[in-house]
Amino acid sequence: MNLRPDSTNDRHAPAASKAARPPLMRLTSAGKRYDQGSTTQQALHSVDLDIHRGEFAAIVGPSGSGKTALMRMLGLLEAPTSGGYHFQGVPEQSLSDEQRLWLRRRFFGFVPQEFNLLRSASLQGNVALPLMYRGLPAERCRTAAMRALTLVGLEDCGHKMPDELSGSERGKAGIARALVCNPSVLLVDRATRPSDQPLCPDIGALLRQLNSEHQTTVVLVTQQASAATWAQRTVSLNGGAVEQDVSQEAASALH
């Protein structure tokens, strides 16, 4: 199997075996340790986790449970310090830095906690930024930005400035910016938002729509158990280990 979805010739694209198609993302006995001077923090302990194409999974747990470390490993931003991680069957330890960068750019869209919109740029300009940083022509960037804004229901807001937007609209704009590069996977970071601040229904519904209608794989990282109701599957973390991994259908059957 080849990781690349098309025949474009990219010298940094890693090769993969032609074996049976594996899960999109697989962690095997994965641990993550952070050395901080004379102290060591073990963020994750021997995590086994498969994420399949087209899934909408919520990673849920209290502060300090390892959610952010797990998300960063899934997005190839950090490597496990023990165990392994495979992306589309390719072991991450076999990848060069250039290949990791290529994979992040091609396959992943990251939605940060605070959305990080530039207050001095229009919404269209904010959404176009990832493509502009890659040096693409300005007109192509603008067109792609408007396509992404249309996808999240903000096609009439491209001219607005971030301060003119509601909280829900800023959230959708953050998702649009992640979508502008046409990723296969959305990693949505709500890991540090307090558990008493629920996921905006508009954002939850949008993530579900992107997953169901566009087959985008969504991983939502959150403290809020209520946010998991939008997902197909909930993976509960505590103390750096998986406590529970259950589908919404299975959860509903228990009640």
Give the percent of the chain with pLDDT over 90. 70
- pLDDT tens sequence across 113-172: 877 889 999 999 999 999 999 999 999 999 999 999 999 999 999 999 999 999 889 999
- In a domain? residue 4: no
Identify the CATH number of the domain in which residue 227 sits: 3.40.50.300
Q: Into how many domains does the chain fold?
A: 1
- In a domain? residue 13: no
What confidence tier does 16 reach under pLDDT thresholds 50, 70, 90?
Answer: very low
What one-letter code names the amino acid at 137?
P
Beta-sheet strand order (sheet of 241-247)? 108-111, 185-190, 217-222, 56-60, 233-238, 241-247
How many alpha carbons lie under 13 Å from residue 66 in its C-beta half-sphere?
A: 25
What one-letter code names the amino acid at 210?
L
- In a domain? residue 106: yes
Structure confidence at residue 196 (pLDDT): 55
The yes-or-no verdict on residue 18 having pLDDT over 70 is no
Angle value at C-alpha 207, between 204 and 108, nearest 5 degrees? 135
- In a domain? residue 18: no
The yes-or-no verdict on residue 234 having pLDDT over 70 is yes
The yes-or-no verdict on residue 207 having pLDDT over 80 is yes
The yes-or-no verdict on residue 7 having pLDDT over 50 is no
Structure confidence at residue 173 (pLDDT): 93
- In a domain? residue 11: no
- In a domain? residue 103: yes
For residue 134, the enclosing domain spans: 26-34+41-253
3-state secondary structure the chain: CCCCCCCCCCCCCCCCCCCCCCCCEEEEEEEEEEEECCEEEEEEEEEEEEECCCCEEEEECCCCCCHHHHHHHHCCCCCCCEEEEEECCEEHHHCCHHHHHHHHHHHEEEECCCCCCCCCCCHHHHHHHHHHHCCCCHHHHHHHHHHHHHHCCCCCCCCCCHHHCCHHHHHHHHHHHHHCCCCCEEEEEECCCCCCCCCCHHHHHHHHHHHHHHCCEEEEEECCHHHHHHCCEEEEEECCEEEEEEEHHHHHHCC
Report the DSSP pairing between strands 39-51 and 56-60: unpaired
**What is the rounded distance in angstroms from the CA atom of residue 242 to the CA atom of residue 57?**
14
- In a domain? residue 193: yes
Q: What is the pTM of this model?
A: 0.86
- In a domain? residue 49: yes
- pLDDT tens sequence across 155-197: 999 999 999 999 889 999 999 999 999 999 999 998 766 655 6
Structure confidence at residue 65 (pLDDT): 93
